[in-house]
Amino acid sequence: MKPKLILASSSPFRRMLMENAGLSFEAHAAAIDERALEAPLEKAGATPDAVALILAKAKAEEVSRRFPDGLVIGSDQTMSLGDRVFHKPKDMAEAAGHLQALSGVTHRLNSAVAIVSNGVVLWDHLAHAELRMRPLSADFIARHLTRVGERALSSVGAYQLEGQGIQLFEKIEGDYFTILGLPMLPLLKKLRELGAIDG
C-alpha cells in the first residue's frame, strides 16, 4: 500500500502545483513560528539556502509528528539579493522599498523541499531561480502597487509573476515550479523512487 502523502503547507500555490500534477494528498499547515526559527539563524549568519532548507525540514517534521505514517512534504522559499534576505512586506511602504531595492538588479529565489516520514528526514533538495528586474522609477512603483493592491503584501518580493508582477522583469532563469516555491521535478522523481506514486 502506498503511504499517504501530506503537504505541510497552507499555500494555495503549492497545493495547486500538487493537484495539477495529479497527486492524491492532504494538506496540513505546520504549526511553527517561521520568524522565530529564522531570526537566530540569520543572526548566526546562516545563508539564505540554509534558512530555506532548515524551515522546509522543520515544517515537514512538525506535521510528521501529527501524521507519523504519512510521507510529509515540507517546503520553504527565501529571497535574497547578495547577503540580504527579504521577508514579506508589512505594508505598502515596505513593498515599495522592496521593489526599489530590486530595481535594475538580479535577485535569487531559493526553494527548498524535504520529505519526512516518522520524524526522519528521508530527502531534501534545493533549487534556485535568478530574476532580473528592469529599472523602475518611483512613480511607476507607486502606480504598480496601486494597481495590484494588497496582493503585493502576500509575497516576499512584493510581486506575483503569475499576475501583473511579470511586467517588472526583463530576464528570468529558473523553472516555474522553483519560482512558485515547490521544485516539482526533483520532488516527483524522489516520490517515484520511494514508491509513493506510480513510476
Residues with catalytic annotation? 76
Rounded CA gap, 77 and 181, in Å? 6
Task: Report the candidate in 18, 111, 19 with the shortest Cα–Cα distance to residue 56.
Answer: 111
C-alpha grid cell, residue 43: 543572526
CA pseudo-torsion sign 36, 114, 183, 151:
negative
C-alpha grid cell, residue 195: 514508491
> Concatenated DSSP letters for 125-141?
EEEEEEEEEPP--HHHH
